[in-house]
Structure 1
Amino acid sequence: MKIFISADIEGTAGILTWSEAERSHADYAEFRALMTAEVVAACEGARAAGATEILIKDAHDSGRNIILDRLPACARIVRGWPGHPDSMMFGLDSGFRAALCTGYHSKAGTEDNPLAHTSNLRISRLILNGEVASEFTVNALCAARHGVPVAFISGDAGICADARAMVPGIATVETLQGFGAASLSLSPAAARAAIAEGVEKALSAASLPNIPSIPQSCEVTIEFNNPVDAYRASWYPGAKASGPRAVAFSSADFFEIQRALRFMNS
């Protein structure tokens, strides 16, 4: 059984400030290790459920966060960013039984995590077919494009609630909840235990969650914080201005939506 893991950091148990997520800051070392430990816990749960191959996408910032020597022998890892539109899901294909997400965070424009954002801090909201979307929204539809269900997510309470609404039956572990500039978090040890148990149960279930339907026609709108970014993104082929700081793009092919996001977010 092949399992795919997309790993982020801003939903890791205990995280609170940007310094803890940035390689250039002394606080980062602790949370790099905690992010790694949650990925290892997901691997342990997957192996207990029968996984023989695990592919991990290190999906935070530089793509060089996970401490490699702590990974199990059955794991492979994609580090860095090749520039492919699959982005945080790069490496996934139809040969995987399920995808898992660890360390995920709430979408831009919400207050469920002091580190809530979507893709980068230049975006105030990402809207897909009229609904505010998260990185998970895009990644779950990317997995659907490959015919792979997302069976598990760990992260803050807001993104777990969004995931349950989008993918009924998905297993979730809420690692933390934001309150303004503060958070209430599980201990790292409790989070790791819950992740390992949650992944094992999710992958051992009689059936995995249904794959969400990809809309026949999609329109994505990126609302930027700065009109300069919107002007630059408006030059992507097929994009159009959609307000003073927003750019919209439409397609019947979700991969084209992913491609547009790849370049308009840059």
Structure 2
Amino acid sequence: MKIFISADIEGTAGINHWDETIHGHADWPEYRALMTAEVLAACDGARAAGATEIVIKDAHDSGRNLLVERLPDDVRIVRNWSGHPDGMMFGLDESFSAAIYTGYHAKAGTEDNPLAHSFNLKISRLLLNGEVASEFTVNALCAGLYGVPSAFLAGDAGICADARAMVPGMGTVETLFGAGPASNSIAPARSCRLIRDGVEAALTGGAGGIPSTEGPWEVVVEFVNPVNAYQSRWYPGAREHGPRAVALEAREFFDIMRALRFIKG
């Protein structure tokens, strides 16, 4: 069994402030260690369920967050950004049995996490076929293009609820919830234990599934600043959608991912 892990940081247990997410900031080393611990817990759970191969995508910001010296010798890690439209799922293909997500966070425009966003802070909302979408939304559909089910997610309460709604039966661990700039989190040690057990249970029990990737698709990217909307509408096929947004239509979801690679900046 071959397992893919997409690892983010803003849904890691204990996290609260942007300073804790920024490569090189004084607060970052503590939280990259917590991010790494949750990934290691997911690896332990996957191995207990029978995984023989594990590939990890360091999927936050620089793509250079995980403490690689702590990784077990039976995993591979994808660091930095290739420029491929798969983005946070780069390295995934049809040979994988399941996708797992750690450190995931609520979508832009919600209050479930003080660090809620969708890909970057330029975007105020991202919509797919009229529904507000998260990074998980895009990434689970990306996995679906390869026929890979999304089995488990750890992150804040908002993204866990969204994941269960999109992929019924998916295993989740709620690490924290937001209240304005504050967060209420479980202890990192408890988070790691729950992730380890949750991943094993999800993979053993066949949890999760594959959302439909059938088109047609429309993506709308609403920006905070109209300058970004002006710049992004020059992507082939993109059109103005109000003063701060661009829209694009496609039959295939991969074309949406390719457009987002350039439009979202």
- TM-score of the alignment, normalized to the shorter chain, above 0.5: yes
Q: Secondary structure at the match of 2:93?
A: coil
Determine the C-alpha separation between the residues in 2 that align with 1:15 and 1:51.
Answer: 29
Residue of structure 1 equivalent to 2:22: 22
Determine the C-alpha separation between the residues in 2 that align with 1:208 and 1:147.
Answer: 15
Residue of structure 1 equivalent to 2:81: 81
Whether 1:243 aligns to 2:242 is yes
Q: Secondary structure at the match of 1:249?
A: strand
Determine the C-alpha separation between the residues in 1 that align with 2:43 and 2:209.
Answer: 22
Moved more, 213-222 or 244-253: 213-222
Q: Secondary structure at the match of 2:177?
A: strand
- How big is the shift at 1:24? 2.8
Residue of structure 2 equivalent to 1:217: 216
- How big is the shift at 1:214? 1.1
CA RMSD after TM alignment: 0.6
Preserved contact between residue 171 and residue 207 of structure 2 (Cα < 8 Å): no
Residue of structure 1 equivalent to 2:40: 40
- How big is the shift at 1:46? 0.3
Preserved contact between residue 14 and residue 187 of structure 2 (Cα < 8 Å): yes
Whether 1:199 aligns to 2:199 is yes
Determine the C-alpha separation between the residues in 1 that align with 2:263 and 2:208.
Answer: 31
Counterpart of 2:201 in structure 1: which amino acid? Answer: K
Determine the C-alpha separation between the residues in 2 that align with 1:209 and 1:29.
Answer: 33
Counterpart of 1:145 in structure 2: which amino acid? Answer: L
Determine the C-alpha separation between the residues in 2 that align with 1:76 and 1:175.
Answer: 26
Preserved contact between residue 152 and residue 208 of structure 2 (Cα < 8 Å): no
Q: Secondary structure at the match of 1:172?
A: strand
Q: After superposition, what is the alpha-carbon deviation per residue over 1:131-167, rounded to whole angstroms, capped at 9, x for unaligned?
A: 0000000000000000000100000000000000000
Preserved contact between residue 11 and residue 156 of structure 2 (Cα < 8 Å): yes
Q: After superposition, what is the alpha-carbon deviation per residue over 1:200-250, rounded to whole angstroms, capped at 9, x for unaligned?
A: 000111x34221111320000000000000000000000000000000000
Q: Secondary structure at the match of 1:195?
A: helix
Determine the C-alpha separation between the residues in 2 that align with 1:265 and 1:109.
Answer: 16
Determine the C-alpha separation between the residues in 2 that align with 1:72 and 1:196.
Answer: 15
Determine the C-alpha separation between the residues in 2 that align with 1:176 and 1:188.
Answer: 10
Determine the C-alpha separation between the residues in 1 that align with 2:23 and 2:95.
Answer: 33
Question: Pairwise mapping of residues 64-79 of structure 1 onto structure 2 (< 5 A)?
Answer: 64-79=64-79
Question: Pairwise mapping of residues 14-163 of structure 1 onto structure 2 (< 5 A)?
Answer: 14-163=14-163
Q: After superposition, what is the alpha-carbon deviation per residue over 1:77-110, rounded to whole angstroms, capped at 9, x for unaligned?
A: 0000000000000000010000000000000000
Q: Secondary structure at the match of 1:236?
A: coil
Determine the C-alpha separation between the residues in 1 that align with 2:207 and 2:254.
Answer: 24
Determine the C-alpha separation between the residues in 1 that align with 2:28 and 2:115.
Answer: 14
Determine the C-alpha separation between the residues in 1 that align with 2:223 and 2:199.
Answer: 36
Determine the C-alpha separation between the residues in 2 that align with 1:118 and 1:49.
Answer: 31
Please list every run of 5 or more consecutive structure 2 residues that lacks an aligned counterpart in the other structure.
none
Q: How many residue pairs get matched? A: 265
Determine the C-alpha separation between the residues in 2 that align with 1:94 and 1:208.
Answer: 18
Moved more, 5-14 or 211-220: 211-220
Q: After superposition, what is the alpha-carbon deviation per residue over 1:175-224, rounded to whole angstroms, capped at 9, x for unaligned?
A: 0000111010010000000000000000111x342211113200000000
Determine the C-alpha separation between the residues in 2 that align with 1:66 and 1:24.
Answer: 13
* TM-score, L = length of structure 1: 0.99
Q: Secondary structure at the match of 1:210?
A: coil
Q: Secondary structure at the match of 1:198?
A: helix
Counterpart of 2:53 in structure 1: which amino acid? Answer: E
Please list every run of 5 or more consecutive structure 1 residues that lacks an aligned counterpart in the other structure.
none
Determine the C-alpha separation between the residues in 1 that align with 2:232 and 2:209.
Answer: 34
- How big is the shift at 1:73? 1.2
Determine the C-alpha separation between the residues in 2 that align with 1:23 and 1:127.
Answer: 29
Determine the C-alpha separation between the residues in 2 that align with 1:252 and 1:11.
Answer: 32
- How big is the shift at 1:74? 1.1
Preserved contact between residue 58 and residue 80 of structure 2 (Cα < 8 Å): yes
